[in-house]
Amino acid sequence: MDNNVLPAIDVDRLEVSYGSQQVLHGVSLSVAPGEFIAILGSSGCGKTTLLRTIAGFQKAAGGAIRLFGRDVVNVPPEKRGMAMMFQSYALWPHMTVLGNVGYGLKLRGVPKSEIHKRVASILKMLNLSGLENRKVTNLSGGQRQRVALGRALAIEPEILLLDEPLSNLDAKVRIQLRSEIKSLQARLGFTAIHVTHDREEAMTMADRIVVMDAGHIVQVGPPKDVYDRPNSPFVASFMGAENTIDLEVHSSGQDVEIRTRDGLSTPFVGQIPMGSLTAYFRDDAASLHDPDARVAGSIILPGTITQRTYPGGHYRYVVAIGDRHFTVTDDEYHALERPVGLRLPVASLHLFPSDHPQGGIHA
């Protein structure tokens, strides 16, 4: 971000408590004008509380919230100049599409003719033209959420906050709306903060991802950076690297020897940190290989195929290594109980020292 441009949103050491329970612990986040931020985290991590506090629906216990340089921490929601989309649509059921989309404009005293003109333009953008006089109770879920988006955009906000607005929709509509919201944001230029627990949604929509855990921001970065270079075991696991295996890595003459917790040993050719490590990896990082082979840059652990399924397009195998089981996809048919090697390219592993779980090593 240009140092001469004020952030659209600047959250500075924000603290929020519910009674005696502190929910946000000195959270700081700067969002550039026109940037799309996704806040990602599991239930209870504080992401929705952060969004609601930015919106003004939740009171801060400490810190500052600045919008384009103006501190709004004590300003009511309606005076913050932003709009919000909710998970539950929050539409007026007795009103038509026109009434719902134009509601914010009516409150602001916009003339009726201008309301009709602006609503017609927004409905055209959202592929809802011709539905102005239909009751929202007669719309599909996807159409209702488009109406909710239209209502938010009608007031031409500089900032749009989205509180898991797609989570109640079926998969096909959810994917369509992801694309539509992102396209509208790029076209209209508003700043957006989108709270979600859906990793794919965050990855496909955001310029930067903010990962939260227990009331703290634990990593911020472009989607590819957070996905490929998680800075902690928590982020690695949350971003899909849920498989783990403990490794002991030692020099053995000219070679490197890797031993698992179960005592399995394999030689290794290539660069890898020494010591006690925990490797986190995604299912698609693993592949089947000759158990006796040596492949530069890869760990090959001997195991046995215990299950085989065919979901379509490839086979899915469960490979037992000691008392652990790992899922692997492969195009070829392999017999059950066949000895195989679980090949793990070190470049695809997220390695963390076993005794320092917050420190990451990327080979």
Answer with the residue of higher pLDDT: 44 or 360.
44
For range 343-362, the mean pLDDT = 75
Q: What percent of the chain has pLDDT over 70?
A: 95
Q: Where are the domains of the chain?
A: 9-238, 243-353
Closest CA to 245 of 260, 256, 266: 260
Q: How many residues are there in the chain?
A: 363
For range 87-109, the mean pLDDT = 84
pLDDT exceeds 70 at position 89: no
Q: pLDDT (tens digit, 9 = 90+) per residue, 121-154?
A: 888 888 888 888 899 888 888 888 888 888 888 8
Which pLDDT band, with edges at 50, 70 and 90, does 361 fall under?
Answer: very low
Closest CA to 165 of 51, 295, 310: 51
Q: pLDDT (tens digit, 9 = 90+) per residue, 174-231?
A: 888 888 889 889 888 999 999 998 999 999 999 999 999 999 999 999 999 999 999 9
CA distances from 30 to 126, 160, 208, 251, 301 (A): 30, 15, 11, 45, 44
Supply the mean pLDDT for the chain: 88
pLDDT exceeds 80 at position 264: no
Please give the Cα distance from 213 to 24 (Å, whole number). Answer: 10
Class of domain 9-238: alpha beta
pLDDT of residue 76: 93
Q: Where are the alpha helices (DSSP H) in 155-275?
A: 171-188, 199-205, 223-228, 233-238
CA distances from 44 to 22, 53, 212, 215 (A): 12, 15, 10, 8
**Nearest 10 degrees: CA dihedral of 234, 163, 33, 66?**
-90
Please give the Cα distance from 298 to 60 (Å, whole number). Answer: 50
Please give the Cα distance from 75 to 245 (Å, whole number). Answer: 50
For range 322-345, the mean pLDDT = 91
- The secondary structure of residue 193, as a DSSP letter, is E
pLDDT of residue 2: 59
Class of domain 243-353: mainly beta
Q: Is 231 helix (H, G, I), strand (E, B) or coil?
A: coil
Q: What radius of gyration, in Å, describes the C-alpha atoms of the chain?
A: 25
pLDDT of residue 356: 56
